[in-house]
Amino acid sequence: MIQVMGLPEVVKAEEILDVQKVASIIMQEREKRFSLTKELIFQKRKNAQLETFIEELEESLENPQEIKINEEKTDNKPKIGAYSAMIRKMKIKRYKLKLKKHRKQVEITREYKGRSRAAKSKLRVNGKFARKT
């Protein structure tokens, strides 16, 4: 490259091709890495779901008789909706446990596909959204 007193740089055509090749290789590697990270996140979530499913199966195998005994005892008590008070408490407890597990498993990301696409296409001035005038 040659630069002469404030004049624009003179670049050889060979150097431009090299830069373009390197840029295309970098983009390909980024795409590969992105797809691999997506696959890794998917597999982690799948693994976590399988673990929770196995835990639930273990819990259900450990105490099926206790649940039946509790149901028999609470049949005489008044029902709340379709379920007795005890069964309703058990269902609510199970629901809250599922919520806790879900919150732990789901990673908070900044990938809001619909919203991010809309935000990227909007006009910005100094980093803030602006109207087209």
How far apart, in whole angstroms, are the C-alpha atoms of residue 35 and residue 31?
Answer: 6
The verdict on residue 126 lying in a domain is no
pLDDT tens profile 21-72: 888 888 999 999 998 999 888 888 888 888 888 888 877 777 656 556 655 5
Asked if the model's pLDDT at residue 14 lies above 50, the reply is yes
The verdict on residue 122 lying in a domain is no
- Residues 89, 48: one domain? no
Asked if the model's pLDDT at residue 19 lies above 90, the reply is no
H or E segment and range at residue 40: helix 13-62
- Any idea which residue has 């407890």 for tokens? 93
Q: What number is the average pLDDT over the span 111-121? A: 71
- Residues 96, 75: one domain? yes
Q: How many domains does the chain have?
A: 2
pTM surpassing 0.95?
A: no
The domain of 21 spans 6-62
- Residues 11, 57: one domain? yes
The verdict on residue 36 lying in a domain is yes
Query: Would you state the pLDDT for residue 95?
Result: 93
The residue type found at 32 is K
